[in-house]
């Protein structure tokens, strides 16, 4: 339980303290597709943005587990 709480705190801090690079509007399917392609090619900014999109449910279904995976990948 303690590890889960720690992961949640890290995820929230990561999302909010890295700054928002979105333009303030909801992402459409084309933008999500481009983010996925860029993230798979190793673009760390795309990984962070995709993680944030999954965390917030912006253009995709909200999925904290998937958000955590993308944000973790961006850190390394």
Per-chain mean pLDDT for the chain: 81
pLDDT for res 15: 54
Q: CA-CA distance, 32 to 20, in Å (whole number)?
A: 16
Q: Which residues neighbour 28 within 8 Å (Cβ) at sequence distance 6 or greater?
A: 59
To the question of pTM greater than 0.85 for the whole model, the response is no
- Tokens of residue 46, six digits: 């795309």
**C-alpha distances out from residue 18 to 3, 29, 33, 45, 71, Å:** 22, 24, 22, 10, 11
Nearest to 71 by CA among 27, 7, 22: 7
pLDDT tops 90 at residue 75? no
């Amino acid at each position: 339980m303690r590890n889960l709480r720690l992961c949640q705190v890290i995820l929230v801090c990561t999302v909010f303290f890295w700054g928002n690079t979105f333009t303030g509007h909801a992402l459409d399917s084309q933008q999500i597709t481009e983010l996925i392609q860029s993230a798979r090619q190793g673009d760390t900014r795309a990984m962070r943005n995709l993680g944030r999109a999954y965390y917030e449910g912006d253009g995709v279904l909200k999925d904290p587990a998937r958000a955590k995976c993308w944000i973790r990948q961006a850190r390394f």
